[in-house]
Structure 1
Amino acid sequence: MQPDQKKPRIDASPGTASPLGVMISSQDHDTMAMVREAIDTRRMRLAYQPVVLAREPERVAFHEGLIRVLDPNGREIPARDFIGAVEDTEIGREIDCIALELGMGALARHPDVRLSINMSARSIGYPRWMRAFRKGLAAGPTVGERLILEITESSAMLVPELVTAFMEELQADGVAFALDDFGSGYTAIRYFKDFFFDILKIDGQFIRNIHRDPDNAALTAALLSIGKHFHMFTVAEAVETPEEAQFLINLGVDCLQGFLFGAAALRPTFLDREIRQKRASA
């Protein structure tokens, strides 16, 4: 379905459209137009956020590449501000392709970096996405084994059998998979045990004030237990305070991600490190 053919959220019959419905529909249309222009003019970038080892937070396990739109003035617009309007459309598939192309390009240029890239289960089987993946693999012998593909829990449950087959195919190329925002969706255990995700990322809603919130503490401990049972590497998202980090370390989480350890940046720390190394060897 083309973007301008997206089914409207409101009844277009006279007298039935609510003011709120009209506003939402108008906002979605404007958002899609903005993203379409950014794609056409190549104003799409990845911002990189570090994911650190819980017991050695000075060490980065990998970076997550987060797609950004740049407006005509160069201002960053994060995915949360536009993905809801486009994720069910062809534009959503194009964004997944661009994110993959940018991410695999970064992996080819930086052989010591490991990187995760987000994708929707809706992009499985999308021809351009698979072409970008195969082209990226050919760019270097270790690109595949340094790539992590993140699929949200809610997206994975749209087509669980398709996700399972897709993961099995790409894991043969060394690619790892992360189940993103775990706990925010509705994963059925009968599917979960068949997914074989390598990494489990616990949704930030369970991390906030975990050191003071016994409910969040209990839920996170339960989610960690599931991850460990299925031999998955665990990541706590949205860690913002030292108290949260220490509590999570005591719970046994493997990695931490959040503003406490660095915001997503268009100029990542690994690029600065590479520049310093080149200058030192010059």
Structure 2
Amino acid sequence: MAVFDTSAEVLARNNPTDPLQHALASREADIPRLVTEALAQDRARLVFMPVVAASGGQRIAFHEGLIRLLDENGRLIPAGSFMAEVEETGLGRDIDATALRLGINMLQVNPHLRLAINMSARSIGDGTFRRTLEDGIRRTPRIGERLILEISENSAMLMPEVVIRFMAEFRPHGITFALDDFGAGLTAFRYLRDFLFDMVKIDTIFIRGIHASPDNQVVTEALVSVAHQFGMFAVAEGVETADEAAFLQELGVDCLQGYLFGVPSGVIS
């Protein structure tokens, strides 16, 4: 697999050499067409970001697999360049199903890998997504024990009862469920109790500069306490400095994720 270093993704929107902008200019295509063609021509890849244990020498607990598309010249298109426009459409479901297929393939060829894949609650009713998940479980016994499905807080709250039923259906296969962007949405505590997620990923907005922000400290401490009260692991996203990591360790966060520990890459670290 080719190696993709995506540490510069944050500059993509302001960069005139952004491959998405180049593709749009050269082909006069819109984003949905670009995404459709990339998926149809098998130009989707996963990049991998490590999530480390907050204690115990920062060993890697699992990786998050993040979908990226390639333009016709093989240049990487960051998800931030296209997801906002297509995530609530049928293309969003196609992207979820593709990411799941690629993730399951990686789990099949790497028996020591534990991998998190993002999905929208809307994909629960998508036939291709469900078949991909069921086929992967059937072909590879116990693969679910190494698969983590991440559902964002806002997405989960769109259809909480559907998410709860989906989790109850697939949890017996060993699948772990994570509530992504925890704290940024509107999760009601009564649903949080009913969801029974295995872990939460605390939103980046509360993590950046937390060592110097009393407001972020109070909010994050409360989120960690809520997670632990409901028996869930707490993962801090967007950790970029040693000061942030040290404060989060003292706060009792279970795992850390961010550029401090590794940028998204096409190889498993």
TM bin, normalised by shorter chain, reads 0.7 to 0.9
The residue that corresponds to 2:213 in the other structure is 213
Q: Residues 239 and 256 of structure 1 are in contact (CA less than 8 Å); yes or no, is this contact kept in structure 2?
A: yes
Q: Residues 52 and 256 of structure 1 are in contact (CA less than 8 Å); yes or no, is this contact kept in structure 2?
A: yes
Gaps of 5+ in 2: 1-23
Q: Residues 200 and 234 of structure 1 are in contact (CA less than 8 Å); yes or no, is this contact kept in structure 2?
A: yes
Are positions 1:154 and 2:163 aligned together? Answer: no
The residue that corresponds to 1:189 in the other structure is 189
The residue that corresponds to 1:78 in the other structure is 78
Alignment of 1:238-257 (within 5 A): 238-257=238-257
Q: Show CA shifts across 1:187-234 (max 9, x none).
A: 111211100000110000000000000000000000000000001011
Give how far 1:62 is off: 0.4
Distance 1:138 1:258 in 2: 33
Mean Cα displacement is larger for which, 133-142 or 180-189? 133-142
Runs of 4+ in 1 over 3 A off after TM superposition: none
Aligned length in residues = 243
The residue that corresponds to 1:61 in the other structure is 61
Q: Show CA shifts across 1:5-31 (max 9, x none).
A: xxxxxxxxxxxxxxxxxxxxx99x711
Aligned partner letter, 1:83: M
Distance 1:222 1:135 in 2: 40
The residue that corresponds to 1:137 in the other structure is 137
Q: Residues 68 and 77 of structure 1 are in contact (CA less than 8 Å); yes or no, is this contact kept in structure 2?
A: yes
Give how far 1:79 is off: 1.5
Aligned partner letter, 1:201: K
Distance 1:172 1:222 in 2: 30
Alignment of 1:160-171 (within 5 A): 160-171=160-171
Distance 1:254 1:263 in 2: 20
* Distance change >3 Å, CA 222–CA 228, structure 1 → 2: same
Aligned partner letter, 1:255: C
> Could you say which structure has the greater relative contact order, defined with CA pairs below 8 angstroms and 6 or more residues apart?
2
Identical amino acids, percent of aligned pairs = 54
Give how far 1:56 is off: 2.7
Alignment of 1:1-282 (within 5 A): 30-269=30-269
Give how far 1:139 is off: 2.9
Give how far 1:48 is off: 0.5
Distance 2:235 2:205 in 1: 13
Which secondary structure does the structure 1 equivalent of 2:125 belong to?
coil
Give how far 1:57 is off: 4.4
Q: Residues 38 and 71 of structure 1 are in contact (CA less than 8 Å); yes or no, is this contact kept in structure 2?
A: yes
